[in-house]
Structure 1
Amino acid sequence: MTGQSARQSSPWVLLSLLAIDLALTAGCSGKSSTVAAPYSPPGTGSTCYAKALPTVGEGGLAWADTLSMARQKSLDNCIRYAGRSGGTPNTCKVVLAECKP
């Protein structure tokens, strides 16, 4: 007897779980994302950026208020990231540097 009652209540349990899942999913679907785009400037005043790359390993991208600060920060980042990724930090050099108007 218990085998039959368990089989009869199974569809109701599954339907209830499905309804709860759909309700929770529908509640989250209308929310907008607040995640920033990758490599976006950290502040509104940072208009200059620079990218430095080593011959092997990961490079560094940096934003700053002036071009010289961006170049130095990207070079420092390149040295740090190249060392962590098993690259060659002593070969880092700035390959791109510019300021947005």
Structure 2
Amino acid sequence: MTRNIARRCSPWVLPSLLSLTFALTAGCSSKPPATRYATSTLGSACYAKAVPTAGEGGLAWGSSLSVARQKSMANCMRYASRSGGTPRTCQVVLAKCK
């Protein structure tokens, strides 16, 4: 029974499928890879960390030190109030640029 099934297939089916597969693969391989993730040069260069006397603090990135400080203070106040801390005691303890 295996012989009958093998005889029904034309001799050109396998080579044509292989050539079609190779043609599609060759067409896709010449394309440049798409960038899916932002590179490190596009990110913000400065960061700051603010912590309260009790509760959780906040870390933020910004284009300048002043922007990073403002964002980290806002994050510190938000997270400190959520965690049962003292949001009014937030202070920036670290601020750097790359």
> What is the distance in 2 between the residues matched to 1:99 and 1:70?
10
What letter matches 1:97 in structure 2?
A
2:54 counterpart of 1:51: no
CA radius of gyration, larger in: 2
Structure 2 unaligned segments of length 5 or more: list them.
1-39
| 2:68 matched residue in structure 1 | 70
What letter matches 2:44 in structure 1?
S
**Deviation of residue 45 (structure 1)?**
3.1
Q: How many residues align?
A: 59
Root-mean-square deviation over aligned CA pairs: 1.6
| TM-score of the two chains, using structure 1 as the length reference | 0.56
Structure 1 unaligned segments of length 5 or more: list them.
1-41
SS for the counterpart of 1:83 is: helix
**Deviation of residue 43 (structure 1)?**
7.7
**Deviation of residue 44 (structure 1)?**
2.3
Matches within 5 A, 1:1-101: 44-100=42-98
**Deviation of residue 57 (structure 1)?**
0.2
SS for the counterpart of 1:55 is: coil
